[in-house]
Structure 1
Amino acid sequence: MFHSAGRDRRAHRTTTLPDAPALAVLQGVSKTFGSGDTAVHALARFDLTITAGELLVVLGPSGSGKTTLLNVVGGIEAPTTGSISIAGRALTGLDAKGMSALRREALSFVYQFFNLVPTLTAYENIAVLAELTGGSVRTRVDEVLGEVGLAECADRFPAQLSGGQQQRVAIARALVNRPRLLLCDEPTGALDLDTGRSVLGLLQGLCHRDDRAVVLVTHNQAIAAIADRVLRMRSGHIVDDMHQRTPLAASEVCW
């Protein structure tokens, strides 16, 4: 059960944060899997603007289109119809090389499962991606490990880290390319309450630095309390889009 610790959380409906630059714009986006009578319409004429500096939590039951939304925004899946732009660049027409370049420059993913290479240290797991971004690998890896509070764990292997620490390494790896847009799919789904709060607190802080936006997909209703903006989905449609004036600190969330 979610508890609000007595705070008054008044909200109003909106579509963007005032005066914030747009990082992702979806116009008329649909995504259909299959055809004919067996077709599944995962997204239906979807319009959405994601703005800098916001933590956007996307809620909905299984099959509502949440993960499909992340995948089309991240260029993993192409929309059936409509247009998408990321940091001012249109995804339409990008080949695999162009899409890879855009991911390196503008966006990153964090998943429920950490996907760390067990034979590499925390430092090495991040360095593998840092080598693709240019500049000093050591400087970048040290910087992001410090950003997630794991500077002292650089030489530890995943098996020597707690679940929360492993997820922080995964987040550090996602940050190594300095993404403007961080896309998170159930990032606390494999964590206990206290560890999950810690990771949520990290994500909450990240979205308010460097004009970055964090999009967090979850089925956990309680997590919506920390969001600047909450998007609720059902059957591929937006059924509610709400900007919260006073999000809770992650440490206050219970589920």
Structure 2
Amino acid sequence: MFHAASRTGREHRTTTVPAASTLAVLHAVSKTFGSGDTAVRALAAFDLTIAAGELLVVLGPSGSGKTTLLNVLGGIEAPTCGAISIDGRALTGLDAKGLSALRRESLSFVYQFFNLVPTLTAYENIAVLAELTGGSVRSRVDAVLAEVGLADCANRFPAQLSGGQQQRVAIARALVNRPRLLLCDEPTGALDLDTGRSVLTLLQDLCHRDDRAVVLVTHNQAIAAIADRVLRMCSGHIVEDVHQTTPLAASEVSW
């Protein structure tokens, strides 16, 4: 539940959430690429707990480990050591089939570039994933298109959509399996300010529905203002972890 409060002429959003439940845990996670003198340690003994209903923004310079963090959380990269659990299920040690099942059931990705199939309509781009996860495809695709405000764009091809609309289709595709955890890598990086605001507003609202969490990686320092929690990384370490009680409404963010 949210309450809007005005401070110094700007709209802020105060989060009123019941006691948070733990959704994801990383314990002593390290990730090293290469070996010997050329080894690069992207994550170093990394500990992190993510709560349901939390919008977590992760900041840091290039090479700080932000994308590696998303990849190990999503099972794209296996950690060199340490343990990860998502929604009460151990991620480390799962085989390819187990990882695929976990991704279908508990988490989804949103990227900077929309990765839509140009020869498929918005509906079809989402339906491809919906068909992998079972249930009524049409009702689920229609529901997520409505959720992102694109119910009237189902039959349009990506080239017939604006950049913001394409990103909304990508978010709808990520939502069709009703994930508890949404992992976003620079989701506004290819968008202008107004379009970026609309996408951030959607993500800000989504993270507090159905006990969902959103982890948003970005280079854009301004986006930190909308977060419930801000994590700053450097050289694979957490250097700052701040909880914000009055995050800025995404419609008010500026860069």
Q: Which bin holds the TM-score, normalised by the shorter protein? A: over 0.9
Shift of 1:6: 4.5
**Alpha-carbon distance between aligned partners in 2 of 1:236 and 1:47, rounded to the nearest angstrom:** 11
Matched, 1:240 2:250: no
User: In the alignment, is the contact (CA less than 8 A) between 1:29 and 1:83 conserved in 2?
Assistant: yes
Shift of 1:37: 1.3
User: In the alignment, is the contact (CA less than 8 A) between 1:112 and 1:189 conserved in 2?
Assistant: yes
User: In the alignment, is the contact (CA less than 8 A) between 1:5 and 1:252 conserved in 2?
Assistant: no
**Counterpart in 1 of 2:3?**
none
Amino acid in the other structure paired with 2:130: A
Describe the SS at the equivalent of 2:123. helix
Matched, 1:100 2:89: no
**Counterpart in 2 of 1:57?**
57
Describe the SS at the equivalent of 1:132. helix
Shift of 1:165: 0.0
Give CA deviations for 1:197-226 in whole Å, capped at 9, x if unaligned: 000000000001000000000000000000
Amino acid in the other structure paired with 2:90: A
Shift of 1:8: 9.9
Output the TM-score relative to the length of structure 1. Answer: 0.94
**Counterpart in 1 of 2:139?**
139
1:35-184 alignment, distance < 5 Å? 35-184=35-184
Give CA deviations for 1:97-120 in whole Å, capped at 9, x if unaligned: 000000000000000000000000
**Alpha-carbon distance between aligned partners in 2 of 1:92 and 1:200, rounded to the nearest angstrom:** 31
**Counterpart in 2 of 1:217?**
217
**Counterpart in 1 of 2:193?**
193
- Structure 2 segments unaligned to the other structure (5+ residues): 1-6
User: In the alignment, is the contact (CA less than 8 A) between 2:10 and 2:252 conserved in 1?
Assistant: no
RMSD value, Cα = 1.6
Describe the SS at the equivalent of 1:241. strand
Amino acid in the other structure paired with 1:37: D
Shift of 1:5: 5.8
**Counterpart in 2 of 1:25?**
25
**Alpha-carbon distance between aligned partners in 2 of 1:91 and 1:180, rounded to the nearest angstrom:** 15
Identity %: 87
User: In the alignment, is the contact (CA less than 8 A) between 1:56 and 1:214 conserved in 2?
Assistant: yes
**Alpha-carbon distance between aligned partners in 2 of 1:65 and 1:93, rounded to the nearest angstrom:** 22
**Counterpart in 1 of 2:230?**
230
If asked which structure has higher relative contact order (CA below 8 Å, sep 6+), I would say: 1
Change (3 A) 1:216 1:96: same
**Alpha-carbon distance between aligned partners in 1 of 2:121 and 2:89, rounded to the nearest angstrom:** 35
Describe the SS at the equivalent of 2:58. strand
**Counterpart in 1 of 2:202?**
202
Amino acid in the other structure paired with 1:76: I
Shift of 1:65: 0.2
Count of equivalent residues: 246
Amino acid in the other structure paired with 1:171: I
Shift of 1:22: 1.0
Output the TM-score relative to the length of structure 2. Answer: 0.94
**Alpha-carbon distance between aligned partners in 2 of 1:219 and 1:41, rounded to the nearest angstrom:** 20
**Alpha-carbon distance between aligned partners in 2 of 1:188 and 1:235, rounded to the nearest angstrom:** 24
- Structure 1 segments unaligned to the other structure (5+ residues): 10-16
Give CA deviations for 1:210-246 in whole Å, capped at 9, x if unaligned: 0000000000000000000000000000000000010
User: In the alignment, is the contact (CA less than 8 A) between 1:72 and 1:78 conserved in 2?
Assistant: yes
